[in-house]
Amino acid sequence: MYGVNFWTPQLLYIEALYHVKNRDDSTAIKGLQTIIANNPTSPLKEKAETMIDVLKRRTEIEKYLTELEVTRATENQVKIVDNPKPVVPKTATPVIKYTVAKVAPPLTSGPFVMAVNAPHHVLMILDKVDQVYVTEARNALIRYNRENYYGQTININKDALDAERNLLVISAFPDAATAILYYDKIKRNVAAEISWLPANKYSFLIITEENLLLLKNNKNLPGYKALLNTQFPNRF
């Protein structure tokens, strides 16, 4: 009715996702190919190419994910006890009264220390995911950052926590508050960027470089999450 205009590739992409959900891959691919042919300068061109590539390997990817054995880790429970009121000793009539500003000590959990004003990474943890799909997830996040954070330098490096858990280290943010803003946004949008990877195969958190080095050494992910949830209740 309206011909080819600015919204045409967006609407075609949404229509293609509908056909993917209904497992009508051939119809989805035709729509995606129309985006590529008619909109060579659209940001959705690369997404369409990626989606076609994934659809052509859909059987292989689903077979790989179906055969994975997933065991949910039991997280440590943290009990928080309120500090008792300090006992102030009685003294003789004071000559001079001093007012001392009380500075709360930083939050800790084992060796981890919360430093909200220090630079932070956003960490994507991929559990039992093949390196091929780790790379594809990194490429998807690079495209996402290019489209949503144009002009900003956001680096994504591959790392590993252990033999089963791979890491994508997204850096760098000047403090915890800035990292949280990115964390909230990527959590909302990531399913559309890596729709081929089940949500239970990945998670996100924020972390300083010092705590990341400690985490890679002691592997105590529940302990670090306990620290985060003390500082940011029920966020992680």
Span(s) in the chain for CATH 3.30.70.260: 112-231
Separation CA 41–CA 38 (nearest Å): 9
The model's pTM: 0.57
What is the largest distance, in Å, between two alpha-carbon atoms of the chain?
A: 90
Q: What is the pLDDT of residues 3-29, one digit of tens each?
A: 666 667 788 888 888 888 888 888 989
Cβ neighbours, 10 Å, residue 211: 24
Separation CA 156–CA 147 (nearest Å): 15
What does the pLDDT read at residue 136? Answer: 96
Q: What is the pLDDT of residues 115-133, one digit of tens each?
A: 999 999 999 999 999 999 9
What does the pLDDT read at residue 182? Answer: 96
Q: How confident is the model at residue 53 (pLDDT cuts 50, 70, 90)?
A: confident
What does the pLDDT read at residue 203? Answer: 96
Q: 3-state SS string over the chain?
A: CCCCCCCHHHHHHHHHHHHHHCCCHHHHHHHHHHHHHHCCCCCHHHHHHHHHHHHHCHHHHHHHHHCCCCCCCCCCCCCCCCCCCCCCCCCCCCCCCCCCCCCCCCCEECCEECCCCCCEEEEEEEECCCHHHHHHHHHHHHHHHHHHCCCCCCEEEEEECCCCEEEEEEEEECCHHHHHHHHHHHHHHHHHHCCCCCHHHEEEEEEEHHHHHHHHHHCCHHHHHHHHHHHCCCCC
CATH (residue range 112-231): 3.30.70.260
Residue pair 115/214 in contact by the 8 Å Cβ criterion:
no
Q: What is the pLDDT of residues 62-117, one digit of tens each?
A: 777 777 665 555 555 555 555 555 555 555 555 555 565 666 677 888 899 999 99
Separation CA 169–CA 139 (nearest Å): 13
